[in-house]
A and B are shown apart, each in its own frame.
Chain A
Amino acid sequence: MDLFLQQILTGLANGAIYACLALAVVMIYQAIDHFNFAQGEMAMFSTYICWAMIAGGLPYWVAFFATIIISFVGGLAIERIIFKPLHSAPVLSHVVVFIGLVAIFNSTAGAIWDHTIKTFPSPFPDGSFAGLIGLHEIGMFFVTLIMLLGIFGFFRFTRIGMAMQAAAANPDSAGLVGIRVGWMLALGWGLAAAIGAVAGMMIAPIVFLDPNMMLGILLYGFASAIVGGISSPGGAVAGGFLVGIIENLAGTYIPAIGSELKLTVALILIVTVLLFKPNGLFGKTIVTRV
Chain B
Amino acid sequence: MSQILEVKGLEASYGPTKVLHGLDFSLDQGGVTTILGANGAGKTTTLRAISGMVTRSGKISLAGTELSSLSTADITRRGIAHVPEGRGTFVRMSTEDNLRLGAYSRNDKAAIAEDMERVYTYFPILKQRRGQQAGTLSGGEAQMLAVGRALMLRPRLLLLDEPSFGLAPLIVQELFAILKRINDEEGVSMLLVEQNAALALELADHAYLLETGNIVISGTSESILENETVRRSYLGY
Contacts and interface: CB of A to CB of B under 8 A. Distances in A.
Are A and B bound to each other?
A: yes
B235 interface: no
Interface of A: 159, 162-163, 165-166, 169-170, 172-181, 284, 286-290
Interface of B: 51, 53, 71-73, 76-77, 81-82, 84, 88-93, 97, 100-102, 104-105, 133, 135-139, 149, 153, 166
B91 A288 contact: yes
7 contacts: A169-B93, A172-B84, A176-B72, A176-B81, A177-B102, A178-B104, A181-B72
A225 to B, nearest CB: 18
Given A159-B104, A166-B90, A172-B53, A178 B76 contact: yes
A173 B90 contact: yes
A290 B86 CA distance: 10
Contacts of B72: 175-176, 181
> Which of B92, B97, B139 has the largest count of A CB atoms less than 10 A from its CB?
B92
Contacts of B133: 287
Given A159-B104, A176-B72, A179-B104, 6 more contacts: A166-B101, A169-B91, A173-B89, A175-B73, A176-B81, A289-B138
A179 B73 contact: yes
B137 A284 contact: no
Contacts of B71: 175, 180
A126 B236 CA distance: 85
A172 B93 contact: no
Contacts of B138: 289
A161 to B, nearest CB: 11
A234 to B, nearest CB: 12
9 smallest CB-CB distances across A and B, nearest first, come from A178-B105, A175-B72, A173-B88, A178-B76, A180-B73, A288-B135, A178-B77, A176-B82, A177-B104
